[in-house]
Chains A and B, each alone.
Chain A
Amino acid sequence: MDVLYFAWVRERIGLPKERIETSAATVTELVEELRAREERYAVAFEDLSALRVAVDQQLTDFDAALAGAREVAFFPPMTGG
């Protein structure tokens, strides 16, 4: 699936988008996989309360299932307007 990062999450991880082969069943499991990869991921995902997640461009929760998902995005709380 495609994993996208925005704002300071993108800056901390150092890329806007990557394709990841994963068998993670939920967003939390995906986060655990990413955290275990490298320090920059561990730093970006240190505090999940500071992050929001969208699955297939819909805001959701970290316990959301990933079955069939094509795109997961991680970002800080939004500041539009």
Chain B
Amino acid sequence: MRVVVQEAPFDFGAECDRFAAGRRDMGAVVTFTGVVRGDGDLATMEIEHYPGMTEKALTAIAEEAQARWSLGDVLVIHRHGPMRPGERIMMVATTAPHRRDAFEAAEYLMDYLKSRAPFWKKERAKDGDKWVAATEADEQALTRW
């Protein structure tokens, strides 16, 4: 399991390659990456986080995924700081002997790190800055697990 919190961009292709390499017993690799969507006149997305707690929260979520599904490995990378539309914010990846475990665990990771990992997004646009509000749908997504 690997959990990385960093300001710098990450190389999605290289991370996927490295993560998927070297296992003969894993039939499935699932990856997801989140991208800053350039809605309206969004100039930058700024992500604040809680150093120390962020790493602990992500590790706990990844450990829970490993406990619930039959997985080979889990990777979580999440950036903080300012990002422009089109930049990759974060990625998760899972390996499993079978695809259902890999898909479900990746969705679980996404649902939980969206509302239980201490990150806050601020949108900076020409007409002002705005904190992104958590949605009821995000909270609701946790109830299915």
Contacts and interface: CB of A to CB of B under 8 A. Distances in A.
Interface string A51-81: 0001001110000000000000101111111
Interface residues of A, number: 16
B134 A81 contact: no
A81 B116 contact: no
Given A7-B48, A81-B113, A76 B53 contact: no
Contacts of B50: 4, 6, 54, 57, 73, 75
Contacts, number: 68
A6 B132 CA distance: 13
Interface string B55-85: 0110000000000000000000010000000
A75 B110 contact: no
Interface of B: prevailing SS:
mixed
What interface size band does chain B fall in?
20 to 34
Listed from nearest, the 4 A-B pairs whose CB atoms lie closest are A77-B134, A80-B119, A81-B114, A7-B120
Interface of B: 34, 48, 50, 52-53, 56-57, 78, 89-90, 110, 113-122, 131-134, 138-139
Interface of A: 4, 6-8, 54, 57-59, 73, 75-81
Given A54-B50, A78-B134, 13 more contacts: A4-B50, A6-B50, A7-B122, A7-B131, A73-B50, A76-B120, A77-B134, A78-B118, A78-B120, A79-B119, A80-B78, A80-B119, A81-B89
